[in-house]
Amino acid sequence: MIDIAIVNGTVLPMGGRPRIDNGVVTITGNSITAVGPASEVSVTGAKKVIDAHGEVVMPGFANSHTHIASNLLLRGLLEDVLLFEWLQTMWKLKRNFDHDTLYWASLCGLLEMTKAGITSFNEHFDAYAVEPEIEALDVIPLRATLGHGFADRGLYESITEKSWRTLENFGDAVAAHHRTRDDMLWMALSPHAVYSCGADMWNLVRQVADTYHAPIHTHLSEGMQEVRYCLDTYGLRPTQWLHSLGFLGPDVTAAHCSQLDATDIRLIAETGTKIAHCPICNAKLGSGTMPLREVIDAGITVGLATDGPASHNSSDLFEEMKFAGLIHKTNTGDVEFLKIGQLLELSTCEGAKAMNRPDTGRLQPGYKADVIVVRLDTAHSQPVYDPLAALVYSARADDVQHTIVNGRVLMENRQVIGVDEDEIRANFHEKAHALKERSLR
């Protein structure tokens, strides 16, 4: 039995598999059941047929590091400043966050991602509540890993007590939500960074993660100020200090890693730690550019990520792919580095692995049915000699026509099903402006 058959499209399976012109993808329940040329895959009896003529059928994007709710509230608030000044201003709003404001921000973020073809995301709750986003995921159910945020010093000192309490009671969050909703929703642990969490906190996070088999998602080596802090405080670079605590491992997604030396890269590779690479955010905040070629050569799993909309201004992996291609060609002086096919893999199957959700990100039987259909018949993508080139360097988030997550059509012909988009945008706008008024008087 076939629930959905997508026909007539150019299929990009990813995971090293070649493109299929006039391909077919079939979905049954929450999984991909067949992928191949039209001549080989039967769609007889399919309950729903989607015609993808002139379009690309590919896995949805995996956004391996973001902060949807909080950062949406801060998008466009503060431009043209360095990371630490930016964090300090953001904090003035963060301390006034409330449930309703976070709910509408989360819902608007989920709406934006669905419309941009992002089907799974790795959320880092940077000092704000998880519950409103869990509620919003009832309305727009993307595949999500929600990392509870922890910190106990510096700018983040005020969440110390809450952090310890949440860590000690993490079993409750696991019991209530981890691997629920047909395994779509995962709980994770998100210590903030080496400058905002002490050794005791890192050690407890490691213990709790081992106890509950929950992934870890943190910021690491984001800029020289962090490296200098760690060297001054502990006599070690951030990666090397976390390694000395026995913290690193394959369950850790480290976002940024924009400042790595050869020893850092070796330790990340040896421990199987994964990296979420955010080149736009790093460039915008002056944090440096990760040595991607060395990271890939070392065999490290790395995915592309947007980071939050406060430091990127959009949840758009099309932009991220294009920027990544440009900055790494410039930095290496090698235009042959980071080819179009590799950029697509970094934002789909590699991104999924980088956030420890390796059951998505490919169109292959047995993988989760997280699929997008992208039109290439637009003026800005013509004449489409190569669909991969069009996707990476010409297409835009708005070209995504359909978004399917876990076998369910969430967006069809750019309409997100079952939601009132005007209401979401209007409520979020009102809540965000009210928050700014009461926070930055």
The nearer residue to Zn ion, 174 or 278, going by C-beta atoms, is: 278
The nearer residue to Zn ion, 309 or 325, going by C-beta atoms, is: 309
Q: Which two tokens stand for residue 306?
A: 């947007």
Q: What angle, rounded to 10 degrees, do the helices at 160-168 and 199-212 form?
A: 30
Tell me how far, at minimum, the Cβ of 253 lies from Zn ion, in Å. Answer: 11
The nearer residue to Zn ion, 240 or 311, going by C-beta atoms, is: 311
Chain residues 286-325 in contact with Zn ion, contact rule CB under 5 A: 307
**Residue number, nearest CB to Zn ion:** 307
Chain residues 375-434 in contact with Zn ion, contact rule CB under 5 A: none
Tell me how far, at minimum, the Cβ of 74 lies from Zn ion, in Å. Answer: 12
Q: Tokens 């637009």 map to which residue?
A: 378
The nearer residue to Zn ion, 56 or 285, going by C-beta atoms, is: 285
The nearer residue to Zn ion, 307 or 316, going by C-beta atoms, is: 307
Tell me how far, at minimum, the Cβ of 308 lies from Zn ion, in Å. Answer: 6
Q: Which two tokens stand for residue 224?
A: 């020289």
Taken in order 348, 354, 360, 364, the sign of the CA dihedral is: positive
Tell me how far, at minimum, the Cβ of 56 lies from Zn ion, in Å. Answer: 29
- Phi first, then psi, for residue 34 (nearest 5°) are -150, 145
Q: Tokens 């932009």 map to which residue?
A: 319
The nearer residue to Zn ion, 256 or 362, going by C-beta atoms, is: 256
The nearer residue to Zn ion, 307 or 345, going by C-beta atoms, is: 307
Contacts with Zn ion by CB under 5 A: the residue count is 1
Tell me how far, at minimum, the Cβ of 136 lies from Zn ion, in Å. Answer: 19
Tell me how far, at minimum, the Cβ of 274 lies from Zn ion, in Å. Answer: 15
Chain residues 81-100 in contact with Zn ion, contact rule CB under 5 A: none
Q: How many CA atoms lie within 13 A of 341 on its CB side?
A: 10
Q: Does 123 bind Zn ion (CB under 5 A)?
A: no
Q: In 405-414, which positions are buried (b, 16+ CB within 10 angstroms) versus exposed (e)?
A: bbbbbbbeee
The nearer residue to Zn ion, 307 or 399, going by C-beta atoms, is: 307
Tell me how far, at minimum, the Cβ of 192 lies from Zn ion, in Å. Answer: 9
Tell me how far, at minimum, the Cβ of 305 lies from Zn ion, in Å. Answer: 8
Q: Tokens 């970094």 map to which residue?
A: 346
Chain residues in the site for Zn ion (CB under 5 A): 307
